[in-house]
Structure 1
Amino acid sequence: MDSSKNPTKDNNELTKNTKNTKIVLMSPAGSIEALHAAINNGADAVYLGVKNFNARRKNMGNFTFENLPETIKLAHFHNVEVFVTLNTLIKNNELDLWFDTLDKVYRAGADAVIIQDLFLLPYIKKNYPNLKIHISTQASIMNYAGLKNWENYANRVVLSRELDYEEITEIAQKSKIPLEVFCHGHLCISYSGQCLISSLIGKRSGNRGLCASSCRKEYNRNGYLLSPKDLALLNKIPQMIESGIHTIKIEGRMKSPEYVGTVTKYYRKAIDNYYVNKWQNFTHEDFNQIRMSFNRDFTTGFFDKNNYKNVLSPELPTHRGIFIGKIKNKTLKLEYELYVHDGIGFWDHQKKEMKGIFVPKIIENKTEINYAKEGSEVYIPLKNFKDGASVYLTSKSNGKSFIGELKKYNLILEIITCEFRKPLVLKGIHNDVEKTLISLSEIQEAKNAALSKEDIEEKLNKNDFFNVKLSGNLEQNLFLPSSSLTDLKNQLNNIFLPEIHLQKSEPLKTHHLLKNEMKIENNNDNNDGKINNHKTYTKTQNQLCVRVDSVELVKKVAPFSNIIYFDLLDPKFNEAKTIAKNINPLIKFFAYTQLVLSDLDIENIIKLLKKEKPEGIMISNHGLLRVEQEIDFPLEKHGYYTLNVFNDLGVTFLGKEQITPIISLELTSEELFKFKNKEFMVYVHGRPIVMSFKGVREEKQLTDELDITFPLVITPQKNTEMLYSRKIALLDKIKSYLSNNIGNFYLEFFERDYKNSFDYVTTEIEVYKKVLEKKDIGDISLLKRGTTIGNFVKGVM
């Protein structure tokens, strides 16, 4: 095995790296070929998916339960760890299958699992104590406060891609567990795990591994305004290492083996150069080699502070290779060398599409040539060779492959016994240990072709680990059945392979018994087994919980609401609270807090809570889950839908934390009706956030190719939220919820949707109130006009 890389294993891993503890390089393995490419080019670890429950469900190369054990064994033989992605949100009716999948992954020998649904972590930790848990970037951990709430359940956290170097360094200094950060590949323009656009538009959820890539569409007829470049932090490796993170991660489970091999090779070189004090920045030509494998242009992403405006690539949303020129007067002046048989792409600016083809001929000065250097003016006889088209080099006919064959280790087996009517006995030495192979059947007399050394070597060499050569004499005219040779090959792998991290201990409970762990528990124990002394609230069924964004709207909704949520950072918070209480003394007034928060933002929120003393808080970010520990007055807690509560385990976990959540907007009514624990709220009215962006966008709204418009809103923290194109309105569905013992309803009313017609808000909320009071509401067709029922019926796949 290759021990030169010596990756830091999780058992002994540190949260900070030193000159003696190399940062770990993790590569994607979307297929067995990509796995080989990662291993050959220096990956310390790989991450891969199985058929179900991973964020790349569309990937045809996902591994099966049948080949997973051998895949892991192969990686471990080369001293490469294997992490299996189970990073989607899980529905109640999938929990049995999910834990069955987890159990198979555990028994296959995986080094860790990567999880998005955080509320499953206590059950994994309790029942699979030897299985390491890595929190996915899909879980939206973007501050130390959020990480701290989960570090007792996890062995590693993959931080949000939106964090800059200073933020990463600060979190690494405080964290008790190792951190992982993406260094290369596809970027989500929205915070990962917080994108609902493809779910609400096409019923395909990014939280379920079926993202529809709405960010790659054209908007405002002005380009691909949400399409990000690809992350490339190759020249930031020194800063990444010095930040104290444990692992850097390459994106790309749906990319080619060539991509995996090329990118892994360059990042391996960068890391090794740093540790032997030979660091120098990589050149433009080095990046061109990476560009050839895949790129949408490169960016350092959010790693550089205030760099968000340089993240987007509105011109072209697909792989572009290397730009080599624009056709003018039927001539292409090359900005990069070109060979016959190279792959090129023509970007048609009017049709907004790329046409790819191999170069059949190159004409220069009316002469056919095989090679044209940079600066040459050439003509290529193709129908897409038209003035105005941009041309990109997408593959090289003489390009170097970084995939390669996996290294095998030479093993000499000595023939000890080879006699008629006796088993064949072979002996070899590996890792200073002598081991013996004995055939299942006895050697027979050959009736046709006799057994040869070459026959045995050919059969034994059909393995992923050893090159076998036989020594000694083989008797003539003898025969051994093919099945015995196959068994000898299997013995070779089983006997000569070293101990390779297979899970030896049984889980404390099998997945079949976990159902007993998932029952609803109505007690005040928190999730660490300690008693929560904070005030316990008796939840009231059948109530309207309403968020508004102006004092005028407070006046309109207060007579009909049980709870009002108002932005804690709004200067008029106290005024709004006073008005609400004057109108309705029984009303509860809650502070609303945003999704995207830094640790500094959370500190400011805590200071404001102490000053304003609201009766409750709406929590959108994991950093505020246990905010009551920082204050000295009773505070009721509700959870926004950004917490991604998808199943009973989530409701129960948060219930123990005294949090009542808004259930995920991606579940259907039928799925909600089947919840055992119904201590949650349902989003029944408003425009939900479908994307959350770091930084301030200049546009007021974005209109897609179908003329569907999505408003943009700037948060107090100077980030941007993109809202759904239509209001969700479930006025006529409330009765069905009530009949299924669901009575907590969440509504949002914002000034931008009503402009000067605030009286219409009164009309709408009054109807909701009548439904709750089981009064006749008459014809509501006008109120439903222009609205949608969201995922109420169809849900997401």
Structure 2
Amino acid sequence: MEKVELVLPAGNELCLRAAVKNGADAVYFGLDKFNARILAENFNERNVFGAIRHCHNNNVRAYVAFNTLVKNDELREYFRLINVAYSADADAIIIQDPCFIPLIKQNFPDLKIHLSTQATIVNSHSVPDGVERVILARELSYDEIKALAQKFPTEVFVHGALCFSYSGLCLFSSIAGGRSGNRGMCAQPCRKKYNNQYPLSTMDLCLLPKLPELIKAGVVALKVEGRLRGPLYVATVGRIYRKYIDAYYRGEFNIDQKDIEELMVVFNRGFTTGFAFGDNVVDPKKPMNRGLFLGELRGGKLKLRSGLKVGDGVALWVGDDIKGYTVRKILKDGVEVKEAFAGDEVEINTYGAGDGTPVYKTSSVDMKLELGEEIKPVKGVIRRTEIRLPDFKVVENTSEVKIFAKTYDKNEALAADRAGADVIYYDVLKEDSLEVKDRLKRSRFFVYTPRILSDKQLVEVAEKIKEIKPDGALVGNRGLLKLLNGVTIHLDYSFNCFNDIDLNCYPGIPIISPELNFEETISLKNKRFIVMIHGDIILMTSKQKLKAKELIDEEGRRFRVRDNHGLTEILNASQLGLFNKARDYVRAGIKYFYIDVEKNAARWIRIYRKILNFEPFDDREIKKGYTTGHFNRGVY
């Protein structure tokens, strides 16, 4: 029986040494561009050769992350850096954009490709040809993981931070904060305060108790998140997971609570077994590290739930404030001691904190860091001198200007039809979709589909589309493409179409990513795409339920929350409204435009028809309160 692989993070050289020394079968890390943790120290073109040699000398595999979206003018640099990793003998690369697979295989035939969790793989039909491993979305149930593991080599996250949104479908940091998670620059808006709590702050995944189930499911690799964590974290988590993976194969799997406590001390926001095992994943109290809970203060004393030593770090949670310090004195029964144990009642410095104040241990003098040998520098030699990329030709859009409007109920759809929408997108799962189709007089009728679909749901939606026989479909999930032969396809911006490779990869016409600015958008040689010009930008798509109908941040911005067939969607606080700026796209040869509003779609269709026909329109007053999104600024 081949053992499951333990994959540990390495945000820098010290973390890589810690991973190799403490049980990694493989490590994953990024270079200083094009990886989803750009804010980590990362590796570069010089030290990556020594890093991978160090791994291989210790029988550890090395995976290099190239898991971000890439702009047109960055494509050559992106593939050049893949060549650097290839030349350094990387065992595989991790990518987000499946459209790159044919080009990677063409240029580097023997380089293995792992598809990142950023690719949002939630069903078997979304898995493209040409990948050696699929890193699954963290929202899948255990049964879904097991089913996919029987069909493909799969990797699952077992420990570390979770995202509130499905990875790859989050625009919150980008649109609301200007830093794109799809470009490795996430500003973590899920850790911010809304409605005076932290309702988006997820707990940390800890699947140590579930290792037997995951191994029996047939996954090939267990992954630890944490490229922004330090070497002590990597070493501690790696050593403990290594211990219990090996114990499982010896038939001796029995977790020692002390190991769970070590994991908690080194970093945690509260542990959860996640969606795979039906656990709650959000703790709205605080978004930061807790450590190990020691107890609450009572009468200036602390009854310990776990041991404490002089030199340990502790944190007192006083309201919204946290007072952290190193313990210098412990009193037990009025006598100074160097160590106290679970059940002991002790006195420590409380800094005036009152009764009920929770106390956590945040570091331990007993936790030692073993790094192993230093990484020796290696002079790199580039194996390929020429990268072959397509020379895309200009593809003009010779169509008339068209407006595509998403509508949310029958009356809105019929009004949009009367207002002259060229295409109306309507929910494929609404019971009256066939009636709406039959009642339209002018517009073409397209259904739109959910962004997240299981294998079972894919088949159901595909059958519903065949039953309705629409003029086309706005597809939200990549898995549907294999099931819709003969159907005219438009692609939701959930496809993250970012460059000409993407535009020439997928069938149909995509809504281009709203993360591209105007200049980046019009520089695309293939002009057959749709630009969103007005309406609600979906910032997050989440499996986690939210009770609140809106989220109010500390700046007073109101982000609306809605349920979409069991998924939570968070909308931007301000609707997109380009108004007269939309004419700049027409002048650049862009002809297709998208409006997404829940109410008054007909009004906006008429307004934008005037604007796009270059009829006189003064937008100085009407545009107040709207955002132009990334039209000017774009993302880094």
Into which bin does the TM-score normalised by the smaller protein fall? Answer: over 0.9
Is the contact made by 1:554 and 1:579 (CA closer than 8 Å) also made in structure 2?
A: no
CA contact (8 A) 1:109 1:503 kept: no
Equivalent residue for 2:411? 552
The amino acid of 1:547's aligned partner reads: K
Partner residue of 2:272?
A: 299
Aligned length: 635
Structure 2 residue aligned with 1:356: 324
Match of 1:272 in 2: 246
Per-residue Cα deviation, 1:101-141 (whole angstroms, up to 9, x for no partner): 11111111111110012222221111111111111100111
**Relative to structure 1, is the Cα distance of residues 539 and 619 closer, same or farther in structure 2, using a 3 angstrom cutoff?**
farther
**In structure 1, C-alpha distance between the alignment counterparts of 2:158 and 2:297, rounded to whole Å:** 35
- Residue of structure 1 in register with 2:203 after alignment: 229
Is 1:588 paired with 2:588?
no
SS of residue in 2 equivalent to 1:336: coil
- Matched to 2:225, the amino acid is E
Identity across the alignment (%): 38
Give the 5 Å matches for 1:677-696.
677-696=526-545
Task: Tell me the residue number matched to 2:503.
Answer: 651
Residue 770 of structure 1 pairs with residue 629 of structure 2:
no
Residue 649 of structure 1 aligns to a residue whose secondary structure is helix
Counterpart Cα distance in 1 of 2:519 and 2:352: 52
- The amino acid across from 1:135 in the alignment is L
Q: Distance in 2 between matches of 1:645 and 1:518?
A: 18
Alignment TM-score, normalising by the size of structure 2: 0.96
TM-score, reference length from structure 1: 0.77
Structure 2 partner of 1:519: 392
Q: Give yes or no for the alignment of 1:663 onto 2:536.
A: no
Q: Distance in 2 between matches of 1:236 and 1:373?
A: 29
Counterpart Cα distance in 2 of 1:105 and 1:293: 31
User: 2:447 aligns to what SS in structure 1?
Assistant: strand
Q: Helix, strand or coil for the counterpart of 1:596? A: coil
**1:620 is aligned to 2:588:** no
Equivalent of 1:706 in 551, 555, 575: 555
Match among 601, 626, 630 for residue 791 of structure 1:
630
- Deviation of the 1:153 alpha carbon: 2.3
Paired letter, 2:28: Y
1:195-594 equivalences under 5 Å are: 195-221=170-196, 223-280=197-254, 282-304=255-277, 306-307=278-279, 310-349=280-319, 352-381=320-349, 383=351, 385-397=353-365, 399-406=366-373, 507=384, 510-511=386-387, 513-514=388-389, 517-520=390-393, 540-558=399-417, 559-580=419-440, 582=441, 584=442, 587-594=443-450
The corresponding residue for 2:137 is 160
1:192 aligns with 2:167: yes
Matched residue type, 2:270 = D
CA distance in 1, matches of 2:619, 2:214: 57
Is the 8 Å Cα contact of residues 196 and 689 (structure 1) preserved in structure 2? Answer: yes
1:278 Cα offset (Å): 1.9
SS of the residue aligned with 2:632?
coil
Tell me which residue corresponds to 1:745.
593
CA separation in 2, counterparts of 1:231 and 1:557?
A: 45
Cα distance per residue 1:738-784 (max 9 Å; x no partner): 11111110111204xxxxxx4xx43322110112222112x333432
Counterpart contact for 2:318–2:353, Cα < 8 Å: no
Is contact 2:97-2:119 (8 Å) kept?
yes
> Equivalents in 2 of 1:700, 1:111: separation in Å?
46
Of structures 1 and 2, the larger Rg is shown by 1
Offset, 1:241: 1.1
Q: Contact 1:346–1:384 at 8 Å: present in 2 too?
A: no
Letter in 2 for 1:118: P
Instruction: Decide which of 536, 554, 577 is 1:729's aligned counterpart.
Output: 577
Q: For residue 78 of structure 1, what is the aligned residue in structure 2?
A: 58
CA shift in 2, pair 1:562/1:595, >3 Å? same
Deviation of the 1:327 alpha carbon? 2.2
- Counterpart of 1:41? 22
1:20-99 alignment, distance < 5 Å? 20-60=1-41, 62-99=42-79
In 1, Cα distance between equivalents of 2:450 and 2:99: 21
CA distance in 2, matches of 1:328, 1:732: 64
**Could you list the per-position Cα deviations for residues 493-533 of structure 1 after superposition, in whole angstroms to 9, with x for gaps in the alignment?**
99xxxxxxx999x55x722x42xx2424879xxxxxxxxxx
Deviation at 1:464, TM superposition (A): 5.8
Structure with bigger RCO (C-alpha 8 Å, 6+ apart): 2
What's the secondary structure of 2:275's corresponding residue? Answer: coil
Q: Is the 8 A contact 1:265 1:402 kept in 2?
A: no
Matches of 1:283 and 1:224, distance apart in 2: 32
* 1:625 aligned counterpart, secondary structure: helix
Alpha-carbon distance in structure 1 between the residues aligned to 2:435 and 2:375: 71
- Distance, in Å, in 2 between the alignment partners of 1:377 and 1:196 is 49
Q: Give the drift of 1:566.
A: 0.2
Unaligned runs of 5+ in 1: 1-19, 407-462, 466-489, 495-501, 524-537, 752-757
CA contact (8 A) 1:144 1:623 kept: yes
| Shift, 1:367, TM fit | 3.4
Could you list the per-position Cα deviations for residues 423-450 of structure 1 after superposition, in whole angstroms to 9, with x for gaps in the alignment? xxxxxxxxxxxxxxxxxxxxxxxxxxxx
| Residue 117 (structure 1) aligned with residue 87 (structure 2) | no
User: Who is 1:781 aligned against?
Assistant: 620
Whole-angstrom distance in 2 between the partners of 1:719 and 1:288: 34
Residue 219 of structure 1: how far off its partner (Å): 1.7
Distance 1:403 1:145, change over 3 A: same
Q: Which amino acid aligns with 2:549?
A: K
**1:323 partner amino acid:** F
Q: How much does 1:793 deviate?
A: 0.7
Structure 1 residue identity aligned to 2:232: E
Q: Secondary structure at the match of 1:781?
A: coil
Paired residue type of 2:27: V
Name the aligned partner's letter for residue 253 of structure 1: R
Q: What one-letter code is carried by the residue in structure 1 that aligns with 2:286?
A: L
Residue matched to 1:5: none
Determine the C-alpha separation between the residues in 2 that align with 1:79 and 1:363. Answer: 49
Question: Residues 39 and 185 of structure 2 are in contact (CA less than 8 Å); yes or no, is this contact kept in structure 1?
Answer: yes
Listed as ranges, the gaps of 5+ residues in structure 2 are none
